[in-house]
């Protein structure tokens, strides 16, 4: 959370996507994991605001490697008609990670808070919040090493034309933007739908304040309930999305993944719009389950959708541009309007109405725009199928 992480995360992803279209994606991933774990751990050793701000920027830099490299890697492991399931399972990690943070992060911080200060040579006494950074950051170095145990697959979906590439088959960032710009309605439809998902999902940042002000819940109660909802809703939504995408792919629908995204939105929008204004906390939890289930279904379909309209030469760059667009809305523009509306209402207890207004407005607009752009996306998928080398559309 916050601009130190968010700004770097969304803007550095594009040049990293350029690198990932040229060099070893597993090496870039391993480097990124090392950076974000080192920066997380280092944040536990700082003594003032500026170093803390810089380490949080470093976390954003490291994490920006994840999506462009991972989506490209996974999509190259599988044929175009079979990659939606593995990419959806990858996206499920977002919800499992968030659920883990809510469920176990609170007890971990509570336990660390009860410990006496720890003295480290050269760094002096470390407080509980500093220890939390160290505990979370250091184990990640093992994951960085494990990245070198995976195979770097052969790059698939290389376009025979329409993509300006050099003799080595590498496309520039300008070529990626030109390809997307010529098909802006198809890409824009996907970007709008996914941005709405991320924006509505960012409303959960307000959950502690909402449940505390409206129903008198403690932070611990909110954390446990939200964590369980991430686990349950994320799992149900991911599995349901995979089932729908497989069904529509088997029926020969080129827009199978975007249809799953729209369906997820249709489930999520009522959930996000209604849970803040429910008369009881229990009913709010029920509606929130619908919201998280639809959010997981839609979020799982997004990366699959981008790989079907972006040729191999620009796949990582297109993925980075996709996350740039949805990240600007979710990371930077999602939560502030709720706070602004609450201030304008002049009553902190009216936070719930601000959340409902934002979710209903953003969600309804996205549902309409994605439905209108579905045919453009479908034609773009067919076009890219025709552009890529023979046999790559169906076989890895």
Tokens of 334: 């999602």
| Per-residue pLDDT, 393 | 45
Number of helices (H) and strands (E) in the chain: give both, helices first: 16, 2
Query: How far is residue 261's CA from residue 156's CA, in Å, rounded to a whole number?
Result: 24
Q: Give the pLDDT confidence score for residue 168 in this predicted structure.
A: 67
Rounded mean pLDDT, 368-392: 87
Give the Cα separation of 233 and 236 in Å (integer). Answer: 5
Straight-line distance from the first to the last Cα atom of the chain, in angstroms, rounded to the nearest whole number: 38
pLDDT tens sequence across 227-257:
899 889 999 999 999 999 999 998 989 999 9
Mean pLDDT of 42-71: 89
Residues 6+ apart with CB under 8 A from 308: 80, 254, 257, 381, 384
User: CA–CA distance from 26 to each of 16, 135, 157, 199 (Å)?
Assistant: 13, 25, 19, 30
Question: CA 3 to CA 256: how far, in whole Å?
Answer: 35
Thinking of the domain 3-387, which architecture would CATH place it in?
A: Up-down Bundle (1.20)
Q: Residue 395 — pLDDT band, cuts 50, 70, 90? A: very low
Tell me the average pLDDT across 57-73. 90
Mean pLDDT confidence for 141-158: 89
Q: For 199-234, what is each residue's pLDDT tens digit?
A: 998 888 888 899 999 999 887 788 888 889 988 999
**Mean pLDDT, the chain, whole residue set:** 87
115 by Cβ neighbours in 10 Å (0-12 / 13-18 / 19+) ranks as exposed
Distance CA 270, CA 194 (A): 16
Average pLDDT over residues 300-312: 91
* Residue 161 confidence class, pLDDT cut points 50, 70, 90: confident
For residue 261, give both structure tokens: 């995204």
- The overall longest dimension of the chain from CA atoms, in Å, is 65
Confidence band for 139, pLDDT divided at 50, 70 and 90: confident
What tokens appear for 107 in the block? 């007890």
**Helix, strand, coil share of the chain (percent; to 5):** 80, 5, 20
Pairing of strands 124-126, 118-120: antiparallel
Tokens describing residue 116: 């006496």
Q: Where are the domains of the chain?
A: 3-387
65, 84, 94, 102 from 351: Cα distances, Å: 35, 37, 26, 21
Which pTM was predicted? 0.86
Burial class (CB in 10 A: 0-12, 13-18, 19+), 56: buried
Count, residues in the chain: 396
pLDDT over 80 (residue 125): no
Q: pLDDT at residue 394 above 60?
A: no
CB-CB contact of 230 with 91 (8 Å): no
Q: Which residue bears the tokens 């605001």?
A: 49
Integer Cα distance of 154 and 161 in angstroms: 19
What would the pLDDT profile of 318-376 be if each residue is shown by its tens digit?
A: 999 998 888 887 766 778 889 899 999 999 999 999 999 999 999 999 999 999 999 99
DSSP H or E segment with residue 282: helix 281-309
Q: How high is the pLDDT of residue 4? A: 67
Cα–Cα dist 358/81, whole Å: 36
Residue 5's pLDDT is 74
Asked whether the predicted pLDDT for residue 396 surpasses 50, the reply is no
Cα gap 199→272, rounded to integer Å: 11
Yes or no: say if 92 and 80 are a contact pair by the CB < 8 Å rule. no
**Cβ partners under 8 Å of residue 201, min gap 6:** 295, 299, 330, 334
- Residue 343, φ and ψ in degrees, nearest 5: -65, -40
What does the pLDDT look like over 66-124, one tens digit per residue? 989 999 999 999 988 888 889 988 888 888 888 888 777 767 776 777 777 777 776 77
pLDDT at 2: 62
Buried b (16+ CB within 10 A) or exposed e, 278-306: beebeebbebbbbbbbbbbbbbbbbbbbb
């Amino acid at each position: 959370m916050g601009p130190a992480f968010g700004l770097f995360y969304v803007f550095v992803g594009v040049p990293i996507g350029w690198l990932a279209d040229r060099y070893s994606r597993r090496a870039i991933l391993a480097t990124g994991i090392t950076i974000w774990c080192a920066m997380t751990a280092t944040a536990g050793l700082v003594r003032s605001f500026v170093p803390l701000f810089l380490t949080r920027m470093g976390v954003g830099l490291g994490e920006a490697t994840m999506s462009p490299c991972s989506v490209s890697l996974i999509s190259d492991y599988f044929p175009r008609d079979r990659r939606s399931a593995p990419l959806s399972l990858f996206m499920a990690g977002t919800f499992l990670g968030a659920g883990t943070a809510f469920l176990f992060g609170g007890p971990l911080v509570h336990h660390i808070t009860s410990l006496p200060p720890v003295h480290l040579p050269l760094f002096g006494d470390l407080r509980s919040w500093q220890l939390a950074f160290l505990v979370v950051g250091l184990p990640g170095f093992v994951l960085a090493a494990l990245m070198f145990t995976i195979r770097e697959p052969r790059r698939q979906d290389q376009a025979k034309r329409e993509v300006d590439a050099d003799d080595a088959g590498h496309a520039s960032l300008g070529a990626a933007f030109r390809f997307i710009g010529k098909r802006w309605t198809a890409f824009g439809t996907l970007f709008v739908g996914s941005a709405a998902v991320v924006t509505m999902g960012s409303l959960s940042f307000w959950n502690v304040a909402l449940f505390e002000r409206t129903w008198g819940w403690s932070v611990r109660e909110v954390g446990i309930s939200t964590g369980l909802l991430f686990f349950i809703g994320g799992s149900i939504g991911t599995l349901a999305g995979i089932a729908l995408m497989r069904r529509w792919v088997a029926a020969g629908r080129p827009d199978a993944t975007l249809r799953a995204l729209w369906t997820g939105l249709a489930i999520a929008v009522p959930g996000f719009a209604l849970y803040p204004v429910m008369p009881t906390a229990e009913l709010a939890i029920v509606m929130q389950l619908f919201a998280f289930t639809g959010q997981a279904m839609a979020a799982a379909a997004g990366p699959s959708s981008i790989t079907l309209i972006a040729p191999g030469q620009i796949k990582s760059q297109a993925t980075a541009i996709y996350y740039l667009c949805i990240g600007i809305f979710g990371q930077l523009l999602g939560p502030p309007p709720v706070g602004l509306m609450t201030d304008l209402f002049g009553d902190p207890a009216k936070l719930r109405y601000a959340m409902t207004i934002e979710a209903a407005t953003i969600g309804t607009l996205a549902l309409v725009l994605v439905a209108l752009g579905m045919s453009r996306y479908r034609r773009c998928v067919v076009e890219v199928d025709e552009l890529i080398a023979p046999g790559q559309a169906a076989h890895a």
